[in-house]
Amino acid sequence: MAGRHQPVLLRGLQLIALLLIAVAMLVPLLWLVSTSLKGPAEDIFTSPPALFPSQPSFEAYLRLFEDNPMWGYILNSTIVSGCAVVANLLFCSLAAYPLARMRFAGRGLVLALVVATILIPFQVVMIPLYLLMVQLGLRNTLWALIIPQAATAFGIFLLRQSFAGVPVELEEAARIDGCSRLGEWWNVMIPAAKADLITLAMFVFIGTWSDFIWPLVILDDRSLYTLPLGLQQLASSFSLDWRLVAAGAVVSIVPVLVLFIGLQRFILPSATGDAVKG
């Protein structure tokens, strides 16, 4: 009997541990939302702290959009993140396909060099990248934010591993049907790697959407500011309204949450059988 109850007890302990971790992750987010909803007359520094607002108000959100060009910041971030996602899916998949399926001299060396660049911190290449953008005349443009994010070593490696796991028989069947190498990439590899492509898209979107250092370095024109730079403007040297800061943080988090909730059902183990229709 003791042995029969042991798995149940173990599952119960695992469930409790997962619930505690979930609460630890959710409390800061709930606190952020709560602070943004507290009215002007409510003290946000009470002791003990109050998790739920006693006088809920959207006043902070109204002031956030009335007193700041938030829609412009959101539009800039959307353009940069969207272009970075599309460019990564295209260029990383095109680079990953020959590294996974074609035989050529130096393939292992190329892959090793690509993976090695993952270990290089961005701060190391930031100054050369800045000088390059200045020489190309792209400083203070959204292109200066998009081009460095157009392809990532992580994306190439991720898709290379995904393509390498696709059965060779699928390629052979596509070749018999008259597909070229490009046709095999589009009709076989892309459908088979759908889950990894969506995963890469989420990583790129989140990384680009929340990037702060590079836009701060390359942009001076406030009309081109992305959302992280725009939120930084809420904290001035003379005043700091934590309700506004919390409201801005919530606004920046919402698109990421919506994207994750909308795409999570597609993040499943790759179904290579879907690569060839009929």
Residue 118 is part of which domain span?
68-275
The answer to whether residue 121 sits within a structural domain is: yes
Indicate whether 50 and 78 sit together in one domain: no
The answer to whether residue 62 sits within a structural domain is: no
In this structure, are residues 205 and 259 in contact, taking their beta carbons and an 8 Å threshold?
A: yes
The answer to whether residue 220 sits within a structural domain is: yes
Indicate whether 75 and 101 sit together in one domain: yes
Indicate whether 74 and 26 sit together in one domain: no
Indicate whether 52 and 183 sit together in one domain: no
Q: Which residue has the tokens 């695992």?
A: 14
Which residues on neighbouring strands pair with residue 38, listed in sequence order? 56
CA–CA gap between residue 13 and residue 19 (Å, rounded): 10
Q: How many other C-beta atoms lie within 10 A of the C-beta of residue 194?
A: 17
Indicate whether 165 and 234 sit together in one domain: yes
Q: At what angle do helices 70-101 and 153-164 cross, to 10 degrees?
A: 40
The answer to whether residue 63 sits within a structural domain is: no
Question: pLDDT of the chain along its 278 residues, tens only?
Answer: 455 556 778 888 889 999 999 888 888 888 888 888 888 878 777 777 777 888 888 999 999 999 889 999 999 999 999 999 999 999 999 999 999 988 888 888 999 999 899 888 998 999 999 999 999 999 999 999 999 999 999 999 999 999 999 998 888 888 888 888 889 999 999 999 998 999 999 999 999 999 999 999 999 999 999 999 998 888 764 567 888 889 999 999 999 989 888 887 776 554 444 444 43
Indicate whether 157 and 180 sit together in one domain: yes
pLDDT at residue 277, rounded to an integer: 40
pLDDT at residue 237, rounded to an integer: 46
pLDDT at residue 268, rounded to an integer: 53
The CATH number of the domain where 176 resides is what?
A: 1.10.3720.10
Indicate whether 53 and 77 sit together in one domain: no
Domain count, the chain: 2
pLDDT at residue 4, rounded to an integer: 57
Indicate whether 220 and 109 sit together in one domain: yes
CA–CA gap between residue 70 and residue 226 (Å, rounded): 9
Q: How many other C-beta atoms lie within 10 A of the C-beta of residue 65?
A: 14
Indicate whether 100 and 220 sit together in one domain: yes
- What is the reported pTM? 0.85
Q: Which of 57, 79, 96 is the last residue of a domain?
A: 57
The DSSP letter of residue 52 is: S
H/E/C letters for each residue in 211-254? CCHHHHHHCCCHHHCCHHHHHHCCCCCCCCCHHHHHHHHHHHHH
pLDDT at residue 69, rounded to an integer: 92
The answer to whether residue 92 sits within a structural domain is: yes
Q: How many other C-beta atoms lie within 10 A of the C-beta of residue 250?
A: 19
Indicate whether 165 and 266 sit together in one domain: yes
